[in-house]
Amino acid sequence: MIQVKRLAHATFSTPDLDQQIDYWTQVVGLAVLDRGENHCFLATQLGEEVVALERGAERGFLRRIAFQVKPGSDLGELAAKLNDEGIQAERRTDISPGVKQAIVFTDPMGTMVEVYADYTFSPSSGNQIGVSPMKFGHVASRVHDAEKMTKFYCDILGFRVSDWIGDRFSFLRCGVDHHSLNFIKHEQQALLHIAFELRDRSAVFESCQYLTQNKIPLVFGPTRHVVGHNISAYHRNPDNIRVEFFTEMDLMADEELGYWEPRPWHEEMPLKPKVWPDDTLRCQWGFGSTGTFPGYP
């Protein structure tokens, strides 16, 4: 098994590179690291690469998702481990401005997965531009078989199951954050949403105002989810990708303690990973307390 430490960045195709770059830089507030005729790499103002864009016919299609393992790890050994599991991994070089070496393979849904060990932070301005997220939080996908995808990411990449909603919606962590991946059972496999963590709840509310002033309507929230307990607000970007800004997600500070850091909004103490009832897609308050989760079913 490979032990992933963090969600790193995601690569999307877009037919309108300029429009996407405008959105990611002026609205979200990412910094351009490298731009060419057919591609662009973007990082947070704190120096982490989070989004890569490639010119292509499909709007907002998730082409690749990258994860970081322990710095200094031997990628040849990791590729051999994957091979033992029947997964063919290839070596790639210079996959992004900050990543010289990586291995690449395909997950059961057909998404390419990039794994790297060593990352060089990009220059950090620390400036507040647009929404200015702190980090890339999670990727949620609609999949035919949520159990199979959950098992793959746990058995092969070292994720832990944080929660299930019924048998159809899983939340997986690879660090302290409640989830870096979601899999939701659905007839049509597709990206459901991507999410970025903001510094605090006032930043989430400010982002709602900023989006509105930029004529980008919210599609859900602001609200507080039950599972994960993050305060969230969702909109769609110009390529129709549903983007979530969130804060105050549950934290598993110590795996051996086995419970989420206690918070006043938890339904029980201590709150531990569990299977929630099917209707827990409803939120604690806000629009989501009466509506259903965006994009589901």
The least CB distance from residue 126 to Fe ion, in Å, is 26
Residue 163 lies near Fe ion (rule: CB under 5 A): no
Residue 248 lies near Fe ion (rule: CB under 5 A): no
Q: Which stretch binds Fe ion (CB under 5 A): 8-16, 96-104, 237-245, 250-258?
A: 237-245
Q: Which stretch binds Fe ion (CB under 5 A): 23-31, 148-156, 202-210, 244-252?
A: 244-252
The least CB distance from residue 1 to Fe ion, in Å, is 25
Of the pair 239, 244, the CB lying nearest Fe ion is at 244
Question: Which residues, numbered 183-212, are part of the site for Fe ion (CB under 5 A)?
Answer: 195
Q: Which stretch binds Fe ion (CB under 5 A): 5-13, 212-220, 239-247, 253-261?
A: 239-247
Q: Which amino acid is at 19?
A: Q
Contacts 24+ apart (CB under 8 A), 176-180: 176/251, 176/252, 176/253, 177/137, 177/138, 177/249, 177/250, 177/251, 178/228, 178/229, 178/230, 178/249, 178/250, 178/251, 178/252, 178/260, 179/138, 179/228, 179/249, 180/6, 180/7, 180/137, 180/138, 180/139
- Cis, bond preceding 270 (omega within 30 deg of 0): yes
Of the pair 2, 28, the CB lying nearest Fe ion is at 28
The least CB distance from residue 249 to Fe ion, in Å, is 9
Cα gap 31→106, rounded to integer Å: 29
Instruction: Tell me which residues touch Fe ion (CB under 5 A).
Output: 195, 244
